[in-house]
Amino acid sequence: MKRLLLGLLLASPVLVFAQGSVVNTQNQKIVGMAGAGSALFIDEASMVYSPGALAKMDHNAVQVGGNAIMFRSAFQEVGSMDTYRTRSQASTPFAAYATYAPDGAFWRAGLAVYTPFGGGVDWGNNWPGRYELNELSLRAIFIQPTVSFKITDQFSVGGGFIYNVGTVELGRVLPAFNADGSPSTARLTGTGTGTGYTLGAHYHLENEFAFSVTYRSKVVTSLNDGDAEFRVPQSIAGNFPNTKFSSELPLPSSLSVGIAFPVAEKIKMAVDGSIINYNIYEQLAFEYESDRIPNTVSEKNYQKSYTARVGVNYQAKEKLALRAGVGYIRTPVRENFVSPETPDNNRYVLSAGVTYDITPKWELNAAYAFQHILPRTTTNTAINLQGRYETYVHAPGVSVSYKW
Amino acid sequence: MKKIFNIYTSAFFGLFFVASCSPSLDEFEVRNTSTADFNKYIAIGNSLTAGFADGGLYLSGQQVAFPNLIAAQMQSVGGGTFTSPFFNANQANGSGYLRLDSLVNGRPVTAPVTDNLAIRGLNPNNQPLYTKYEGPEINNYGVPGMRLDLAFAPGVGSPLGNPYFERLLGDNDVQTTYFGYTIVRQHTFFSFWLGNNDVLGYAMNGAVGGTATTTLTDAAVFSALYNRYIDSLTTNDRKGVIATIPDVTSIPFFTTVTQPQLAAAVTEGTRGTPLETDNVLIQTKTGIRLATPEDLFFLTFPRERIEKEGLGIDPRNPIPDNMVLDRDEVAEVLARVQQYNNVIRQVAERRDLALVDVHAFLAQARTGFIYNGIPFSSSFITGNAFSLDGIHLTPIGNAVIANLFIDEINRKYNATIPRVDVTRYRGVQLPNHN
C-alpha cells in the first residue's frame, strides 16, 4: 500500500501568483485606460505606477478604493459535451494611499497599501480537473512606504520599500476513495511574507509630453507553517497526518515604461508597455513537515510576459474626465502548463472610466475593465487533463480621494 | 456635450451588460456524419461487458459496466434505450462480492458481502442459481465467464452450466447457445469483446486444463468461431466495435503476490528448523524446482499454508501446478493471446470494424500513467484500474475503457459520441476504520 500513498500527491499544488491573478487595479484612472497612463496621472497612486512622479504632486492627499474582480472561467474536456464554469464570486483587491510633503518641498513621502495580486476561482466539486484544483484564493497585500525627489522641475525620481503579506487557500480532491465512493480531500492554507522594492523616474516637457519608467523587484514570499489538512478514509489516515508545509512563492519583477502626450485641446493619450519576468517560475516546490507526506516539485517553465496598453483621457468638463483604453497581454504560461488556477492565455483588455471632482477637495473615480482571456486547448502536464479553457474577467471599481 | 456624455455612459453600461455573462465554450459539435447507426446498440462479451467487479456481479457494478457508460454517451447521437439485466434493488448485491475490510500493516484484507443476494437456489452441484431476469429485452448481453468456445456450446445456459447466462434465459430456452441467443437481436450496432476467458480460465488454473472453463482454446478453433460470430453480427452491413485481449498475465491477480514475497515467508517460517531454506518449491509440468521471479502466483495464494503446512518448503509438498503459472506457462499463455489478437485484428480489417487495442493500452498501464490526475496502473488497489478481485475493472477502469471504445468508434465511423468524465467514477473504496 505504500505506493498508493506516494502516488496520491504526485501533482504538486498550483500556487503561483500568475498572470491570471494579476489584477493591476490600484488606480481607477489607470484601470479606465486599460492599464495605460503611468506617465499621465500624477497623484497619490503614482506610488505604485510611477514612484518617480510622486514628488511632482502639488497637494497632499489620501485615497481609498477597491474593485470587485470576477473571474468567469469555462472548461470543456476534449471530446466532452459538458462545459464547467467557475462559480460566480468576486475577489476584492483594494488600494489605500496617503501622501504628504511640506509646502514647496523638493520631496514627497507617502504610504501605499495595495493588492497587486489576488484572485479566486471556485470550480466546484464535480469538474474533471478536480484532482488538481477545486478552489483557490490567493492574495498578496503590499505595504509600501515611498519617497520621491525632484531633481529638476521636470525630472524626478522615487522609490519604495515593499513588504508583502501573502495568503493562500487551496482545495482539491485526492484519488483515495471513501466507502460512499467519494474521493478524499486536501486543503492547504498559509500566510507568508516577503520584501522587495520599487524604483521609478518621471520626466515631462512644458507641452505636457511626459515619460515614466518604473521597476518593481521580485518579491519572494516565504510561506512557512502553512496548514495541510487531509480528509481521507480512516484506514489510511495514519499516512496522511495533518501537517505543516512550506513553500516559496516568488512574485515576478517588472519593468514598465509609459508616455503621455496631448492629441487635442482636451484629449490626452497614454501608451504603456511592460515586461514581467515570469521566467522565475521554473518550478514550484513544496515541503511537508511530516515525512509521510512526500515533498513535491513541479515544473512551471513560465516565460516572460509583455503588455501593451493605450488609453485616452478626455476632459469633458471642468469637473469631469472620461477615459477609455485597450490593452493586450501576452501570457507567460506555455502551452502545456496551463492550470485550472489561472487558465491563462493571451488576453485583451477593454475599459472605460470616469473622474468627477465633487468639490475641489473631493474626487470620485470609477472604472470598469473587461478582460477576455482567449480560448486555449491544452493538455496539462501535471494531471494530463486535456481540454479547452476560456475566461472573462470583469473588474468594476471605485475610489475616493481627499486632497488638501 | 451632454450628448457625448450620454453616448459614453450607454457605451459603458452596454459593455458591462454584454460582458457580464461567462464564456460559453460550445466547442463540441454533434455532427450528423456518423456512418454507424446507434439506435439499437447491443453489447456482447464476458464479465467485463457485464460489469462484474470485486469478485461478483452486483447492481452498482452492472450500472457502470463500460457498455452502459458508452450507451449513455450515445444518447446525444441517436442512441436508443439501453436495457441491462440488472439485479433488483432488494437483491442489489447479486452474487455477492468482496469488499475491503481492513488494511493490516498495509496489507489488504477482504471480506465477502453476503446480504441482499439474488440467489434463488442451488443446482445439483450445490452451485448458486440467481434470480431470473424479468423485464424488457436487454441490450447488455455480457455474461461473466463466457468464452468464445462456450458461446457455441449448447447447455451452457442450463442450471448445470453458467448461472449468469441461465438467469437470462426462459425455462424453455436453456439449451440455446449464447451465439444463437445474441445474434437474433436486430441490432444496428454492436460491441463484441469475447476471448479473454479462453485463455484466462487456463492461466488462473496454473495452466492445468481439463474442464470446460479451464481449457485453453485452440487458436484455429478461436479463429473459426470468431470469424463466424462476427460474420453473423455484420450481416446487412451492420457496424460494430471489437477489442483485443489484454495480456492476462499483467493483471494484479498475477502480479501482486510475487516469488520474493513467498521466499521471505519461507525464510520466516523455517528459521531455526532443519529445513531452513529461503525459497519456495513449485510443481511444474517438467518436475519440481525452486521458484523464480518469472513464475506468477495468484492474488488468492494462501500464504499462511507455507508456515502451517510447509507448503512449498517440503519437497513432498511443493506448490501444486494449478496454483502457479510458471514461466514456461506464462510464455505459452502470452503466445496464445498473441494468436487470438492476430485473429481479432484480421477480422477487424476484413469486416472493416472499429478495433480497440485494449492489449496495447493495458501494456502502458504496466508502468502506469496519470489520467486527469488519477494514477492509473495495474497495481492492486493503488492502480485504481482493477477491482478487489485483481481481474475486473473498477468504475474508473470502466470509464477509461469506455473512452477507449468511444474514441475508436468515433474515429472509425466519423461519429461524435461525447467522452465520459472519468473523474466522476471511483477506484477501490477504502475502509473508514483502522
DSSP A243-263: EEEEEEEEEPPEEEEEEEEES
A196: Cβ–Cβ under 8 A, 6 or more apart, which residues?
Answer: A162, A164, A216, A217, A218, A219, A220, A251, A253
First to last CA, chain B: 77
The pLDDT value given to residue B284: 93
Cα B320 to Cα A340, B280, B311: the distances in Å are 54, 11, 9
Does A385 contact B at CB distance below 8 Å?
yes
Judging contacts by C-beta atoms under 8 Å, the chain A residues touching residue B109 are none
The residue of A2, A6, A131 whose CB has the most chain B CBs within 10 angstroms, and thus the best one to mutate to test that interface, is A131
Residue of chain A with shortest Cα separation from B20 = A394
The pLDDT value given to residue A5: 42
Spans of chain A below 70 pLDDT: 1-23, 342
Cα A339 to Cα A89, A127, B16, B199: the distances in Å are 19, 13, 27, 44
The pLDDT value given to residue B16: 53
Count the Cβ atoms, other than its own, within 10 Å of residue A356: 14
The pLDDT value given to residue A273: 94
Backbone angles phi, psi at B287, to 5 degrees: 130, 180
Buried b / exposed e along B352-389 (16+ C-beta atoms within 10 A): ebbbbbbbeebeebeebebbbbbbbbbbbbbbbbbbbb
Does B7 contact A at CB distance below 8 Å?
no
CA–CA dist A5, A174 (Å, integer): 10
Residue in A3, A180, A370 closest to B15 by CB: A370
The pLDDT value given to residue A11: 42
Cβ pair B373, A385 in contact under 8 A? yes
Tell me the count of A-B CB pairs closer than 8 A: 165
The residue of B99, B261, B370, B416 whose CB has the most chain A CBs within 10 angstroms, and thus the best one to mutate to test that interface, is B370
Backbone angles phi, psi at B318, to 5 degrees: -70, 165
Cβ pair A195, A162 in contact under 8 A? yes
Cα A134 to Cα A131, A249, A390: the distances in Å are 8, 20, 17
CA–CA dist A340, A338 (Å, integer): 7
DSSP string, A164-193: EEEEEEEEEEEEEE-TTSPEEEEEEEEEEE
DSSP string, B110-166: EEEE-SS--EEEE-TTS-EEEPPP-SSPPSB---TT--TTGGG-TTTTSTTS-HHHH
Count the Cβ atoms, other than its own, within 10 Å of residue B221: 13
Q: Which residue has the cell 437470462?
A: B168
Please list the residues that pair with B68 across neighbouring strands. Answer: none
Q: Are strands A83-85 and A69-77 parallel, antiparallel or unpaired?
A: antiparallel
Residue B225 cell numbers, joined: 468461431
Residue in B30, B395, B432 closest to A235 by CB: B432
Domains of chain A: 2-403 (2.40.160.60)
Residues 343-382 in B contacting A (C-alpha not used; CB under 8 Å): 369-375, 379, 381-382
Spans of chain B below 70 pLDDT: 1-21, 26-28, 30, 270-276
Residue A99 cell numbers, joined: 501622501
Residue in B19, B373, B427 closest to A385 by CB: B373
Does A175 contact B at CB distance below 8 Å?
yes
Q: ipTM value of the model?
A: 0.86
CA–CA dist A365, A403 (Å, integer): 14
HSE at residue B377, side-chain half, CA atoms within 13 A, is 18
Residue of chain A with shortest Cα separation from B104 = A235
Residue in A7, A81, A179 closest to B375 by CB: A7
Domain boundaries, chain B: 41-249+328-424, 259-325
CA–CA dist A74, A83 (Å, integer): 7
Cβ pair A328, A347 in contact under 8 A? yes
Residue A313 cell numbers, joined: 483621457
Residue of chain B with shortest Cα separation from A375 = B25
Fold designation for B41-249+328-424: Rossmann fold (3.40.50)
Please list the residues that pair with B139 across neighbouring strands. Answer: none
Does A207 contact B at CB distance below 8 Å?
no
The residue of B21, B22, B69 whose CB has the most chain A CBs within 10 angstroms, and thus the best one to mutate to test that interface, is B22
3-state secondary structure of B270: helix
Does B424 contact A at CB distance below 8 Å?
yes
Cβ pair A287, A343 in contact under 8 A? no
CA–CA dist A72, A393 (Å, integer): 6
The pLDDT value given to residue B26: 67
Q: Given an 8 Å threshold on Cβ–Cβ distance, is A236 in contact with B26?
A: no
Q: Which residue has the cell 488609453?
A: A311
Cα A288 to Cα A166, A225, A341, A382, B342: the distances in Å are 19, 9, 21, 19, 50
Q: Given an 8 Å threshold on Cβ–Cβ distance, is B375 in contact with A82?
A: no
Q: Which amino acid is at B289?
A: R
The pLDDT value given to residue B430: 92
3-state secondary structure of A268: strand
